[in-house]
Chains A and B, each alone.
Chain A
Amino acid sequence: MEYADILINVEEIVRGVLCDNGIKLCDKTVAGEVPGWDSLNNIRIILAIEKKFNIKYTAEEIRIFQNIGNLCEIIRNRICQ
Chain B
Amino acid sequence: MDYLSIYPSFDELKLLASKAVDPNSPSIKISVLADNVSGFIVDALKGFGHSAGCNYNIYEAPLNRIETEILDSNSNLNSFKAEYVILLLSSQNLLEKFSVEENKNRISYALNKMAEIESYYLSINKMSPSKFICANFPEIDDGVFGNYSNKVAISFINQIRKLNSCLSELSQRYDDFYILDLVLLQNRHGRNKLVDSRLYANASMAFGLEITPAIAKQINDIIQAIKGKVKKCLIIDLDNTIWGGILAEDGIENIQIGSLGIGRIFTGIQQWIKSLIGRGIIVAVCSKNDEVKAKEVFEKHPDMILRLEDVTVFIANWQDKAENIRDIQKLLNIGLDSMVFLDDSYFERNLVRSSIPDICVPELPKEPEDFLEYIHALNLFETASFTETDKSRTEHYQQDAFRKQLANKYENVLDFLVDLKMTSKVQSFDSFNIPRIAQLTQRSNQFNLRTVRYSENDLKKMSSSNDFIGLCFTLKDKFGENGIISAVILKKQNNVLFIDTWVMSCRVLQRGVEHFVLNELMAVARKEKSEQLVGEYVPTKKNDIVKEHYLKMGFYPQAGFWKMDVNRFKCKKMFITKEEAEMSSKGKE
> Which residues of A approach B to under 8 Å, CB–CB?
16-17, 19, 39-40, 43-44, 47, 57-59, 62-63
A32 to B18, CA, bound (A): 23
User: Does B39 contact A59, Cβ atoms closer than 8 Å?
Assistant: no
Find chain A residues with CB under 8 A from B10 CB. Answer: 44
Range class of the B interface residue count: 10 to 19
Find chain B residues with CB under 8 A from A44 CB. Answer: 10-11, 209
A44 to B197, CA, bound (A): 15
| B414 CB within 8 Å of chain A | no
User: Does A59 contact B209, Cβ atoms closer than 8 Å?
Assistant: no
Residue-wise interface mask of B (200-232) relative to A, using a CB-CB cutoff of 8 A (1 in contact, 0 not): 011101000110000000000000000000000
A30 to B205, CA, bound (A): 23
User: Does A43 contact B203, Cβ atoms closer than 8 Å?
Assistant: yes
A40 to B39, CA, bound (A): 8
User: Does A59 contact B205, Cβ atoms closer than 8 Å?
Assistant: no
A31 to B202, CA, bound (A): 16
CB distance from A68 to the nearest CB of B (A): 18
CB distance from B121 to the nearest CB of A (A): 29
A17 to B197, CA, bound (A): 22
User: Does A57 contact B198, Cβ atoms closer than 8 Å?
Assistant: yes
A55 to B11, CA, bound (A): 20
With A39-B203, A43-B205, A47-B209: A59-B40 Cβ-Cβ less than 8 Å: no
Which single residue of chain A is at the shortest CB-CB distance from B14?
Answer: A44
With A40-B40, A43-B209, A44-B209: A59-B198 Cβ-Cβ less than 8 Å: yes
The 3 A-B residue pairs whose C-beta atoms are closest, nearest first, are A59-B198, A59-B201, A40-B39
A16 to B199, CA, bound (A): 21
CB distance from A34 to the nearest CB of B (A): 18
A13 to B228, CA, bound (A): 40
Find chain B residues with CB under 8 A from A43 CB. Answer: 40, 199, 203, 205, 209
User: Does A62 contact B40, Cβ atoms closer than 8 Å?
Assistant: no
User: Does A58 contact B198, Cβ atoms closer than 8 Å?
Assistant: yes
User: Does A59 contact B203, Cβ atoms closer than 8 Å?
Assistant: no
User: Does B198 contact A62, Cβ atoms closer than 8 Å?
Assistant: yes
Which single residue of chain B is at the shortest CB-CB distance from A16?
Answer: B11
Which single residue of chain B is at the shortest CB-CB distance from A47?
Answer: B209
Find chain B residues with CB under 8 A from A57 CB. Answer: 198
A44 to B199, CA, bound (A): 11
Residue-wise interface mask of B (176-207) relative to A, using a CB-CB cutoff of 8 A (1 in contact, 0 not): 00000000000000000000011101110100
A47 to B9, CA, bound (A): 13
User: Does A63 contact B202, Cβ atoms closer than 8 Å?
Assistant: yes
Residue-wise interface mask of B (1-39) relative to A, using a CB-CB cutoff of 8 A (1 in contact, 0 not): 000000000110000001000000000000000000101
Find chain A residues with CB under 8 A from B37 CB. Answer: 40
Find chain A residues with CB under 8 A from B39 CB. Answer: 40
CB distance from A78 to the nearest CB of B (A): 15
Find chain B residues with CB under 8 A from A59 CB. Answer: 197-198, 201-202
Find chain A residues with CB under 8 A from B201 CB. Answer: 59, 63
A62 to B6, CA, bound (A): 29
- Beyond contacts A44-B209, A62-B202: 19 other A-B pairs, Cβ-Cβ < 8 A, are A16-B11, A17-B11, A19-B18, A39-B203, A40-B39, A43-B40, A43-B199, A44-B10, A44-B11, A47-B209, A47-B210, A57-B198, A58-B198, A59-B197, A59-B202, A62-B198, A62-B199, A63-B201, A63-B202
Which single residue of chain B is at the shortest CB-CB distance from A65?
Answer: B202
Which single residue of chain B is at the shortest CB-CB distance from A51?
Answer: B210
Find chain A residues with CB under 8 A from B210 CB. Answer: 47
CB distance from B17 to the nearest CB of A (A): 12
Find chain A residues with CB under 8 A from B198 CB. Answer: 57-59, 62
Find chain A residues with CB under 8 A from B11 CB. Answer: 16-17, 44
Which single residue of chain B is at the shortest CB-CB distance from A59?
Answer: B198
CB distance from A60 to the nearest CB of B (A): 9
Which single residue of chain A is at the shortest CB-CB distance from B43?
Answer: A40
A19 to B18, CA, bound (A): 11
User: Could you list 8 examples of A-B contacts with CB < 8 Å?
Assistant: A39-B203, A40-B39, A43-B40, A43-B205, A44-B209, A47-B209, A57-B198, A59-B197
CB distance from A9 to the nearest CB of B (A): 16
Which single residue of chain A is at the shortest CB-CB distance from B18?
Answer: A19
A59 to B39, CA, bound (A): 20
Q: Which of B11, B18, B40, B202 has the most CB of A within 10 A?
A: B202
A63 to B197, CA, bound (A): 12
CB distance from A49 to the nearest CB of B (A): 13
